[in-house]
Structure 1
Amino acid sequence: MPLTDLTLAECLALRPDLHEPADLDAFWDRTLREARAGGGTPRFAPVDTGLTEVATYDVTVPGFAGEPVRGWLHLPVRASGPLGCVVEFLGYGRGRGLAHEQVLWATAGHAHLVMDTRGQGWSTAGGDTPDTAALNGTVPGFLTRGVESPHDHYYRRVFTDAVRFTEAARAHPAVDADRVVVTGVSQGGGIALAVAGLLPGLAGAMPDVPFLCDIRRGATIAARPPYTEVAEYLRLHRDRTETVFTTLSYVDAALLAARATAPSLFSVAMMDEVCPPSTGFAAYHRYGGPKDLRVYEFNGHEGGGGHHRREQLAWLGELFATPDRATPDRATPDRAAPTAAPAPHVPRLA
């Protein structure tokens, strides 16, 4: 598989000038305030999975507009005291799946909260969490749903769901609210970056081969979906280019990542035809908190796979074990006067 994007040296030097809406912070502050005002209480119902070392709960959290969002909570049965927690968001087209399928983080001794993605997945029509918004004028897929307005866009709903899910993790009695980390692969990595930017006070973020970063560039150069959905939409609607990319700028995780303060561990694959490496580097370079990176030079969208899980386990173990780790302030940061960016980190080739 050949390189289809910039070289590693070019990606390291890349500093794209992304269009940022003037009201980006106000848009999201208003969106999240409205979601929280909707009220509702997370529900956790025990599930018998047949596993003896992991206790699992069927989760329902009020998300965007108070709509129920499903998930799984996995807890290691032999652990005691409030636990560090990994909140995981899923890849494109995936739902939460079966209750016993994803228990890695719980077997490592951490709480693990998995969020279903509205309208995606397979267990029922549209998944366990349907997307209730009207879907008109789109091409197949999720990226162009509601693309005529940021208020209607699909990922406005998903990012809100994700913030509310992470807040539910913080409030759970089994979880140490100061040790909550967000993670995900591809779409899940983009969602994790968005949450890290929208929700102060996280302990960390682990985005893998993230989607939804520098979306305009992704739509221009990606060889495979989902970014190609945007190109297909604009091939049909030639007069809507600026409207579409203005809407997508409100959900561009590279822009939201600049607001993050938590430590992070990124991964990027240099032969990725789905999420071109330059788009992941756009988010990495703009990320506002301390950052580390693993680069997989000869991998496509599968990224580091099990090798990267091993990297994450080590990174997370060190993060959670550090007794004097500074806990970020959970108050909403002063976005008019951001702190100085940390020194750039030299990525490690895996």
Structure 2
Amino acid sequence: MSDGPLPERSAPPPEPADFDAFWRTTREELTRAPLAWRVHRRYDDPGLDRWVEELSFDSSTGERAFAWVTYQREGQPTRGMVVSHGYQGRADGPDEHVPVPYAAKIFPCAPGLPRSLSAAIPAVTAEHVLHGISSRDTYVHRFCVADIWRAASVLLERFPGIEQLDYSGGSFGGGIGALALPWDDRFRRAHLSLPSFGHHPLRLRVPCTGSGEAVRHRVAREPELRTVLGYFDAATAATRIRIPTFVSVARRDSAVPPVGQFAVYHALGGPKRLYLLSAGHTTYPGQASELAARDRELATFFA
């Protein structure tokens, strides 16, 4: 990890008075419909040394969502994990990088992104992040959060012997995870890596190469959208997270401003662990050793 000063702890973002009520209502409304999940294909993946299933379920959008499920070849899993993804989506298969080999894992694809493509939601990141942003009820991130809860339900129905459910998500998945976790007490531990959507008032001041840039330009034209973004602030949601949470943050990151990543970490309301990476969303000397060391700590954390 590189040396140098860390971002100062910032004052929390202003939050809507009905933030909790909005998300509790969202959870009730968007998890009510049947999951109607089904497995389309099952195969033994020698590279992962695990069984893999490709399945679909009814998304909170009313369309079909896609996911991979992986699990060990022997025995019935008692541990489960929902693993989200970055804003590039996942099109080619499960990204089995979380060091919890004994868990059954579900890798859902967010609404509108690759393998959960939508007739209404654009797949291009700069367009996806703006879809429905004129209202808190139609903003695409509301449905992305709800599909985390729905994916968790699919996994628990698929493996009813699961006794502990965890979460892992990076970048987009880190921010969406922070928004999802406070309202679902089935999750026991979480890893948020380079979490996005933290502290929108600060993010909107910082040019970036990620999805936040499209939001920054849109809000510059329509400042009233700040009110909508207040309901989708990962730092505000983090104050409600009480489960142990491991957060990987970057000292420098052109895609997700570190000030937002640190805001999510500082806001967490329960036990937390910080792991500093030299950079995010790029390659750099020593990256492999940093990530290997981080993953060793993660394995202990989840164990």
Q: SS where residue 24 of structure 2 aligns? A: helix
Contact 1:169–1:175 at 8 Å: present in 2 too?
no
**Unmatched segments (≥5 aa) in structure 1:** 122-127, 321-350
d(CA) in 2 for partners of 1:106, 1:162: 20
Structure 1 or 2, whichever has the larger Rg, is 1
Q: Deviations over 1:273-327 (max 9, x none)?
A: 211211111111111221001112x32334866633553454344533xxxxxxx
TM alignment of 1:165-314, pairs within 5 A: 165-173=151-159, 176-177=162-163, 179-235=164-220, 237=221, 240-241=222-223, 243-296=224-277, 298-302=278-282, 307-308=290-291, 310-314=293-297
Contact 2:83–2:169 at 8 Å: present in 1 too?
yes
1:98 aligns with 2:121: no
Contact 2:98–2:168 at 8 Å: present in 1 too?
no
Matched with 2:139 is 153
1:129 aligns with 2:116: yes
Identity value in percent: 21
Compared CA separation, residues 106 and 113, structure 1 to 2 (3 A): farther
TM-score, normalising length: structure 2: 0.87
The two structures, once aligned, show a CA RMSD in angstroms of 2.8
* Matched residue count: 297
Residue identity matched to 2:281: H
Contact 1:42–1:60 at 8 Å: present in 2 too?
yes
Matched with 2:70 is 74
d(CA) in 1 for partners of 2:195, 2:86: 9
Compared CA separation, residues 105 and 280, structure 1 to 2 (3 A): closer
d(CA) in 2 for partners of 1:113, 1:188: 13
d(CA) in 2 for partners of 1:49, 1:306: 30
Deviation, 1:139, is 9.8
Contact 2:194–2:280 at 8 Å: present in 1 too?
no
TM-score, normalising length: structure 1: 0.76
Contact 2:100–2:299 at 8 Å: present in 1 too?
no
Residue identity matched to 1:64: S
**Unmatched segments (≥5 aa) in structure 2:** none
Matched with 1:341 is none
Residue identity matched to 1:55: W
Compared CA separation, residues 318 and 279, structure 1 to 2 (3 A): closer
Compared CA separation, residues 277 and 58, structure 1 to 2 (3 A): same
d(CA) in 2 for partners of 1:311, 1:46: 33
d(CA) in 2 for partners of 1:175, 1:102: 24
Deviates more, 1:217-226 or 1:153-162: 217-226
Q: SS where residue 37 of structure 1 aligns? A: coil
